């Protein structure tokens, strides 16, 4: 099938801007100009309210399947983006949504074994290189070479060992601090900063957590007589302590997993151990955070459940939770930068989107791929906060910034822009660039809950697991 679909999309983009949620007219024009190299020279069909459904060369109607994970508002907005694409192209999109937990990879494996892989899907960052090495992913370099996809942020671009792009994150998700303004006001505590340069020190963070953690008798963790076995409100909660959810304190303390170029192993360094122990101590030493493990089984849920439910004064989770703040009634929610240790650092991820080479309509699937990862076509998702832009110009062009941030809380925008503008304050998840990450992490999961639940110290657990993890790192391979 010739690539006519994308040309059709571009001709319709301006006419259907209200439907597709395109950004400013400048951004729309840039998209048209940038994509022209990847289209046929034929004049596209004129815009219509609903395009006639295209057909493959064998006469079959083209339908594409999209598998993704989501919860809350994000699910509705992804589905709306699919409906917009159907109206613009006539191609039917059959989307399937799963919960935001570790069941996704298991489900993909089942679909692979049954020969029913979708055309496109989200994929866990840690699994991109694995599926690419298995020969399941379609190359997307041609989309960049043709201009169908402009250059994306390095932090959400996944490349194979040869430097070829195999996936791009739909969003530039960042770990953020959410908090209950009403609880802060009642306790007379100033709000945390939205400026990386003014982030709380770790000692200040512990002190605030103690003042905001209360037991059933009204005693705080900072007072004598506090009963840690009968906590009513925790000072802070974590959605879970899985992967990047626990890696950010390692980098904040001057350690990490590996260096940014992947050449130095940092996971067993004293700074890394201390950084994670600081978080574990919030749970088991200071009793200001609820128990959390390395799986989503320990998940509290979204910010609407954590802070909206009244059980937490603060909550650390991804920026995708910004989309759930409107679901909270009767509580004023604030957003701020994470506390610092030696450095003020957050962690990013991005829900990579991939095309499977088993697709019956590969060219159409690639066109839909280009549409989905274009921020102009997901402006409502950006405006909700469920996604953050995956292109640099959306953080520098004032017109674009104004468009996607207009409905977000002022403190959320300040926090995001502060992280983006402070060099070195966003640590990239090594799953994006470290081939052996998946098998290293699989080994790590066998041990780490012993530290998270207080059975052993982080140092003791690392002494047991790090020799093998370092050996796996040194293989330099996915498998």
Phi-psi category of 349—alpha, beta or left, where left has phi over 0 and alpha has psi -120 to 50? beta
Please say if the pLDDT value at position 15 is more than 60. no
Confidence of residue 228 (pLDDT cuts 50, 70, 90): very high
Q: Give tens-digit pLDDT for 98-153.
A: 876 667 778 888 998 999 999 999 998 888 888 888 899 998 999 999 999 988 98
The verdict on pTM exceeding 0.75 is yes
Task: State how far the Cα of 448 lies from the Cα of 46, in Å rounded to an integer.
Answer: 58
Across residues 92-97, what is the average pLDDT?
A: 95
What average pLDDT is seen over the chain? 86
Confidence of residue 299 (pLDDT cuts 50, 70, 90): low
Confidence of residue 11 (pLDDT cuts 50, 70, 90): very low
Across residues 453-478, what is the average pLDDT?
A: 96
Across residues 326-352, what is the average pLDDT?
A: 94
Confidence of residue 266 (pLDDT cuts 50, 70, 90): very high
Please report the pLDDT score of residue 106 as a whole number. 84
Confidence of residue 53 (pLDDT cuts 50, 70, 90): low
Per-residue CA distances from 289 to 20, 228, 232, 340 (Å): 42, 11, 11, 17
Please report the pLDDT score of residue 185 as a whole number. 98
Q: Give tens-digit pLDDT for 367-405.
A: 999 999 999 998 988 999 989 999 999 999 999 999 999
Q: Give tens-digit pLDDT for 342-352.
A: 999 999 988 89
**Least trusted range by pLDDT, from 5-19, 77-91, 440-454:** 5-19
Q: Do the Cβ atoms of 81 and 59 come closer than 8 Å?
A: no
Rounded to the nearest 5 degrees, what angle is found at the Cα of 218, between the Cα atoms of 215 and 220?
A: 65
Q: Do the Cβ atoms of 138 and 366 come closer than 8 Å?
A: yes
Please say if the pLDDT value at position 50 is more than 50. no
Confidence of residue 478 (pLDDT cuts 50, 70, 90): confident
Across residues 4-13, what is the average pLDDT?
A: 38
């Amino acid at each position: 099938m010739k690539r006519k679909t994308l040309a059709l999309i571009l001709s319709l983009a301006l006419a259907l801007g209200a439907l597709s949620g395109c950004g400013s007219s400048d951004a729309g024009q840039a998209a048209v100009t940038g994509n022209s190299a990847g289209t046929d020279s034929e004049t596209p069909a004129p815009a219509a309210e609903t395009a006639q459904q295209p057909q493959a060369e064998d006469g079959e109607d083209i339908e594409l399947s999209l598998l993704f994970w989501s919860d809350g508002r994000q699910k509705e907005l992804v589905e709306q983006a699919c409906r917009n694409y159907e109206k613009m192209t006539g191609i039917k999109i059959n989307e399937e949504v799963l919960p935001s937990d570790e069941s996704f990879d298991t489900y993909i494996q089942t679909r692979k074994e049954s020969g029913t892989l979708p055309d496109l899907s989200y994929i866990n960052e840690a699994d991109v290189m694995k599926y690419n090495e298995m020969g399941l992913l379609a190359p997307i370099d041609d989309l960049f070479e043709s201009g169908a996809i402009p250059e994306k942020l390095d932090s959400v671009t996944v490349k194979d060992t040869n430097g070829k792009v195999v996936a791009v994150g739909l969003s530039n998700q960042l770990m953020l601090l959410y908090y209950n303004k009403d609880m802060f006001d009642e306790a007379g505590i100033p709000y945390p900063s939205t400026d990386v340069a003014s982030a709380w020190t770790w000692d200040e963070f512990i002190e605030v957590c103690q003042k905001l953690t209360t037991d059933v008798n009204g005693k705080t963790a900072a007072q004598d007589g506090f009963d840690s076995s009968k906590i009513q409100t925790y000072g802070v909660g974590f959605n879970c302590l899985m992967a990047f959810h626990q890696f950010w304190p390692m980098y904040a303390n001057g350690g990490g997993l590996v260096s940014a170029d992947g050449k130095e192993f940092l996971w067993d360094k004293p700074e890394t151990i201390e950084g994670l122990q600081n978080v574990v101590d919030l749970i088991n030493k200071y009793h200001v955070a609820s128990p959390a493990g390395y799986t989503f089984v320990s998940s509290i849920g979204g910010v609407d459940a954590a802070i909206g439910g009244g059980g937490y004064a603060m909550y650390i989770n991804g920026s995708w939770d910004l989309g759930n703040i409107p679901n909270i009634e009767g509580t004023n929610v604030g957003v701020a930068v994470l506390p610092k240790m030696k450095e003020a650092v957050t962690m990013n991820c991005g829900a990579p989107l991939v095309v499977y080479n088993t697709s019956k309509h590969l060219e159409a699937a690639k066109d839909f791929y280009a549409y989905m990862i274009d921020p102009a076509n997901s402006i409502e998702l950006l405006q909700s906060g469920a996604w953050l832009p995956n292109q640099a110009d959306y953080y520098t062009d004032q017109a674009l910034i104004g468009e996607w941030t207009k409905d977000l809380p002022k403190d959320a925008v300040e926090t995001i822009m502060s992280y983006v503008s402070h060099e070195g304050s966003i640590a990239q998840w090594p799953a994006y660039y470290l081939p052996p990450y998946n098998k290293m992490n699989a080994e790590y999961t066998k041990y780490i809950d012993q530290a998270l639940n207080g059975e052993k110290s982080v140092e003791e657990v690392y002494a047991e697991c790090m020799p093998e993890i370092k050996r796996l790192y040194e293989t330099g391979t996915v498998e």
